[in-house]
Amino acid sequence: MKDFSQAEPVARDAAGIIDVVLEGGPADLPADLRSRRVARAEEKIKVRHYGGYEHFERGGAPEAANVPVVFRWTGRTRIAE
């Protein structure tokens, strides 16, 4: 699972990168965190948010050209201290 709390340069082949939209989860998750580009193979995404991680999983819909892939919120975990 990929942690997107830090920005990282896109080092993969551009053909292997897709646009995604994160759906669900906390209402206060910033809009700029809800759209991103990830590797086509990613099935899960976690986003650091207020002392924990919001988890999202890829939806079952097939990919269409120029349409972001939807990842739906599945839960939250707290950061262990």
Dist CA 14 CA 79 (whole Å): 32
pLDDT in tens, 58-70: 987 666 667 899 9
pTM over 0.95: no
pLDDT of residue 66: 78
The secondary structure of 1-57 as a DSSP string is -EE-SS-----S-GGGEEEEEEESS-TTS-GGGSEEEEETT--EEEEEETTEEEEEE
State pLDDT tens for residues 22-41: 999 999 999 999 999 999 99
Contact by Cβ (8 Å): 26, 69: no
- Binning pLDDT at 50, 70 and 90, where does residue 2 land? low
The pLDDT-based confidence of 11 (bands split at 50, 70, 90) is very low
* Domain locations along the chain: 2-78
